[in-house]
Structures are given as C-alpha cells and as structure tokens.
Structure 1
C-alpha cells in the first residue's frame, strides 16, 4: 500500500554542478525537495520507488544500483540509484538520475530503492495500472515522483509563451497539494504534450498508486516557474 509520496521537479539544473553560476536560483526548490524526502523517511517504507519520465513507450524498471550520469550536460558527475552496487547496463533517464542525486544528497538509507520510467505516450489508464501494481509491491510503499509542469510560462521558456500554461499549472498545483487523484487521472494528455509537461505520466502513476489509500493528504511545499518552467514540490502522507 502507498503510505507516502514526494513530488519533485526533475530539471538537471537542480544539480548545482550542472547549474554552475545559476545554482543559487534554485536553492529554495532544493530545500523543499529535502523537506519532501524527509516526509518519505518518516513514513518508514519497506520499498521506495522513484518514478520519472522515460524515453521509451512503456514502463521501464531500473534496479537498485542502476547508474546515471550528468555527463551529457557537460558535468563529470555520476550517480547510482540507492545504495546498490549495480551492474553495467542502461543508464537512468535524466529524471531518475535527478531523483538518485536527491536521494544521495539527503543520505537515503531507509529502504530499498527501485526506479520506474514512464514514457510520454503511455495512456492515463496504463499509468494508473502501473501505479496500482507498485502499491502492491510491499506492505508500505513510498514514491518519489519526478516531473516538471509546463515549459511555456514566458517568452524565453523552452516552449515559448502559451497562455494556457499558467492555468494548467495552477490546477496541477491544486491537485498535487490536495492529493486529488481524480484530477490527476483526468489530466489532458494532448494539452500536457503541447505545453511540454514532463510530469504528466509520473503523476498519473502516483494517482493509480494512491487508489488503495484514501487517507492520504497532500501538502504543497513549493511552487515557482523559473526559466518559464513550472516547478512543484508536494508531499502526500
């Protein structure tokens, strides 16, 4: 059963070495992510699954110890998912790599860790099914859900300015901050794609995982849109 979840943004810029001189601009977001992971630790899960956007079509599972890297962003920084030794193979997609970095930064050692990458083409129904399956993996399951909101909030945003972006992010912040699983399941897939929302599929996995625990309550810890991209931090507990 899902007992806790933390929702965090996943821009590689969250990693100070990647952000370089701009690193202080995301200090508040990093602090909120640290607080969110504290909620996960307090829930004492038997299993933690990091869920994030993936490059493929279907859900892709990554075992504890799976390697990740920020070398594609010009930084010689490597990470591993959890405490496992891992084996050579597929590298973590960037969202899971940021999640692995957050766990290492906060010294996570409270439960085994796995990763699940979900592609943008995965339907809402299949995302929910994947979440329900995750919730059944152990008696106490926690999720670290990585994803960004719209990337169209300003003229200089990666997706340029789209007037639909701010209302979309406002409703998303409300849904995540109140653990509104119905609203997350109903997210407009086509609109999310047009607004370059990377977190749509991961959030719908979260909605599916929460189905069996209606007592979960949401708290919005952080909401901002630096660089024209919506960054949200929330906890469910």
Structure 2
C-alpha cells in the first residue's frame, strides 16, 4: 500500500508492481473474482473496509457498486483483495477465508467445491505469504529451512504443479509461519488444466512473497 509506506522503498515497490500486474492480468480475463485467503469466519459480499487500523484511512470495496458502512474488522488479506480489485478495475471479488490449520484434504475439498459451483469466466485470486523467516532481516526468528521451503513453492508455482503444492508439509509450513500454504492447496484442489504465465519469488526484509499467474491450459 503506497499510503502506508513512508518512502519509496525499492524492495516494497517491486512487490507492489508485481502484485498489481498479476491482478490486471486476472482482470483481463474476468472482472468477477473469487479470492481465497488465510483467516477465519465469513466475509459478506460487497463489504467495505479500511486500512485505518494500519495507520491510514484508505477505504476499499469488494464490489465496485457498493456504498455500505465500513467494517473496521475486515482482516488484512480481505483488505488487500479489495485494494487489488480496485487497482485492476475488476467488478467484484468474493472472499473465502481458509484456516491456516486446514488440512490438505480440507483445502483440496474447498478448491473442488469452488470449481464445481462456479460458472462462466471467473478469476481466482489466491492470497498468502511465504515464510517470514528468511535470514537476518526476518521480522521473526530466522529459520534455515525457510529458503528450501519457499524455493519448492516457487518451483511448484512456476510449473503449475498442483500435486507439488498438495505435497507441501503442513507441519513445516506452520513452523515457518507460511500463511499461503492452505490457500495454495485450495488452488491445487480446483483441478484446472493450468499453465504458468509467470512466477516471481521476492524476499524483501526476510519475508517471502510469491507472485504467480496461472491460466487455463486449454485457452
């Protein structure tokens, strides 16, 4: 979020540009999105949120035509989903929160259900960080296992390899605080004929960010 960054930090700008570019790629295929993000509970369609809790009252909407009251309790991944929708000019995004402790079977089942219940062109926005335990700049205690874990995730995303995502170790992901593990496995559970159109791994300030674009292999 530019409004939340004191200066134009190159590491932050690179992640932002990659995320916005991926969102715009998604919007080019569909202006209606479904988002999967780590968290608990349900998110009302068309909710309006604010980044006020993070220092600046930047408001975001999950649907372009929403004028409802601001919900100050929306979690960060939901706010990011709304912000990316606005940056890309998509019409709407409905958010499904999946527990970071969900098993791979539960994630796979949710992915299959979303695929089964969705009709027409819909973009799937998957939100979740890699490990925040890379090296001396990590915000938490560094863990020497983090680089190998995120390298494996990057390889899986670059190859559109759903089986590799499903094979990620749930326990290790939890120990490394990789919040993206469950959403990535929901993606893997959709069963699409995917191919990767681009994938990046960036690790600013010790936190791994994976920005990847998958598209239908039959398109």
Give the alignment's TM-score, normalised by structure 2.
0.89
Aligned to 1:164: 145
Total equivalences in the alignment: 213
Deviations 1:50-76 (A, max 9, x none): 11111x2xxx44233212221221222
Work out whether 1:48 is the aligned partner of 2:28: no
1:130 aligns with one of 97, 103, 110: 110
Structure 2 unaligned blocks of 5 or more? none
Q: 1:131 to 1:86 in 2, by over 3 A?
A: farther
Q: Indicate which of 172, 182, 202 corresponds to 1:224.
A: 202
Aligned to 1:155: 136
Partner of 1:107: 89
Which sections of structure 1, spanning at least 5 residues, go unmatched? 1-14
Matched, 1:174 2:155: yes
Q: State the partner residue of 1:196.
A: 177
Report the CA distance shift for 1:194/1:122 in structure 2 as closer, same or farther (over 3 A).
same
Distance 1:123 1:195 in 2: 16
Query: 1:97 maps to what in 2?
Result: 79
Task: Assess if the C-alpha contact under 8 Å between 2:154 and 2:200 holds in 1.
Answer: no
The answer to which structure, 1 or 2, has the higher relative contact order (CA under 8 A, 6+ apart) is 1
Distance 2:59 2:122 in 1: 27
Contact 1:66 1:90 in 2 (8 A): no
35-44 vs 168-177, which moves further? 35-44
Deviations 1:171-216 (A, max 9, x none): 100111111100111111111111111111111111112x1x22x1
Q: Distance between the aligned counterparts of 1:44 and 1:226, measured in 2?
A: 30
Deviations 1:114-171 (A, max 9, x none): 1111111111111111111111221333211111101110123122211100000101
In 1, the alpha carbon distance for the partners of 2:47 and 2:123 equals 19
Query: What is the alpha-carbon distance in structure 2 between the residues aligned to residue 185 and residue 165 of structure 1?
Result: 18
Aligned-pair RMSD on alpha carbons? 1.9
Q: Take 1:66 and 1:232, find their aligned partners in 2: how far apart are those partners?
A: 26
Distance 1:183 1:221, change over 3 A: closer
CA distance in 1, matches of 2:196, 2:11: 26
Q: How many angstroms apart in 2 are the aligned matches of 1:77 and 1:124? A: 35
- The residue number in structure 1 matching 2:121 is 140
> What TM-score, normalized by structure 1, do the two folds share?
0.82
Q: Is the partner of 2:131 in helix, strand or coil?
A: coil
Match of 1:4 in 2: none
